[in-house]
Amino acid sequence: MIEPAKDVLTGEEAYVVGGAVRDELLHRPVLDIDIACAEPERAARAFAKRVGGAPFPLSERHGAWRVVLEDERTVDFTPLREGIEQDLATRDFTINAIARPLQGGDLVDPFEGQSDLEAHIVRAVSDAVFEQDPLRLLRAVRQEDELAFRIEPRTEGLIREHVGLVTRPAGERILGELCRLSAAGYRRLAELGLLDRLGGSLERADRADAVDSPRFRLVVFLGDAVGTLPVSNELRRFAVALLRSEPLADGSPRAIHRFRRAVEPWALEALAFHGCGDLVSAVQEARRRDPDEPLVRGDELGLPSGPEIGRLLRLIEEERAAGTITTREEALELARRHTHSG
C-alpha cells in the first residue's frame, strides 16, 4: 500500500501517521494506513485509480478521505494544514503521535512516543485530549488492553476527571470500542469509573471469561444497557435471550427443553451466562436428539387457525422431549385431552 501512495505523492510533503507507525514499531501487523498530506481528496482519488480501490469522503468537516481496497483494508488521507508537528499535537496518545515521512527519512516524534512504546505506556498528548474527543476515554482503555500496556498516572487522573463525558460520542463509536475489549478491559473500565457511566456493572463479571466472544462480554458487563447502543437486530435478540432467561433448575429432559425453547440458538452461551457449565453436555445431547420431523402438524389437529394450535404443538414438543409420548397417535390423544380441558 505504501509504494502506490509514494508514487501519487512524489515530491509532496506527506507522512504515515498514527496506528500504522505504532504497529510497525511494535512489529504488529499493519492493516490500515493513515497518510497526512496537503490535498487528501486529490491524493485519495489518484491512489484509488492506481490500486483499484473505492474512494469516498471520510469526514467532510475535517477534509479526510478513505480508500477501501479489495481485501477491505483501508488507506486514509487526512489534511496536513500547519505542518506535521502541529498535526501530531492533535493526536490522542504519544504512541499514536509519531510520523514517518512517506518518501523516507527519520521519524518525527515530538512527544517521545517511541520511549513510551518501549516502556509500554499509554500517555495523553495533552491535558485536553478527552475534551477534544471523549471517545478517547474508551480508546485509552482499549489500547492499554490490546497492547498489554499501562495508562500512566497523569493520564489516568485525566480520565477520572472526565468520566462524565464518556456517553457523549455517537453510539456507533462507543460500541466499536467496547466490542474490542477483553474481560480485563471491561474490569479496567469499571476501575476508572467509566463502566458505571455507561450503565454497566461488574455484577456478572465472574461469568465473563466463560465464552470468548465480544457480544457475550457486552451482555455480561452492560446488561440491559446494551439496548441503549445501536446494536444489530441479531445482537439485540441475543442480549434479550440471555438477560430474560432463567437458570436451568436441573438437567432433566423437560427442563432442558424449556430452557432451549427460550434461548436457542444460544443455549450454550446462556448456560455460561447463568454459570451452568456443568449442563453443557446435556444440552449438546438434546441438540443431537432433536427429531427431524414433528409427530404431528398443526393442520392435523382438526382445529381452526389460532394461538391454540401453537400452544398444543409446543405441548407436544415438550412431552416428546420429556419422553412421555413417542408416536403420532399419542400426540393426537394428548392434544385432544388438552383441547377439551382447555
Q: Are 14 and 94 within one domain?
A: yes
Q: For residue 65, is it within any domain?
A: yes
CA distance 275 to 133: 38
Domain encompassing residue 283: 245-288
Which ranges of the chain have pLDDT less than 50? 341-342
Q: Which of 222, 156, 217 is nearest to 191 (CA)?
A: 156
Q: 69, 97, 112 — which closes off a domain?
A: 112
Residue 190 resides in a domain: no
Instruction: Specify the number of domains making up the chain.
Output: 3
Residues 80, 84, 87, 89, Cα dihedral to 10°: -170
Q: Are 220 and 208 in contact (CB under 8 A)?
A: yes
Indicate whether 7 and 94 sit together in one domain. yes
- For residue 322, tell me if it sits in a domain: yes
> Is 221 inside a domain boundary?
no
Same domain (yes/no): 23, 104: yes
Is residue 104 located within the same domain as residue 24? yes
Amino acid 6: pLDDT: 76
Same domain? 302 vs 337: yes
What pLDDT sits at residue 8?
72
* Residue 98 lies inside a defined structural domain of this protein: yes
pLDDT in tens, 135-157: 999 999 999 999 999 999 999 99
Are 322 and 263 in the same domain?
A: no
Q: Are 280 and 327 part of one and the same domain?
A: no
* Residue for grid cell 453443557: 280
Would you state the pLDDT for residue 60? 66
What CATH number does residue 19 fall under?
3.30.460.10
Residues counted in the chain: 342
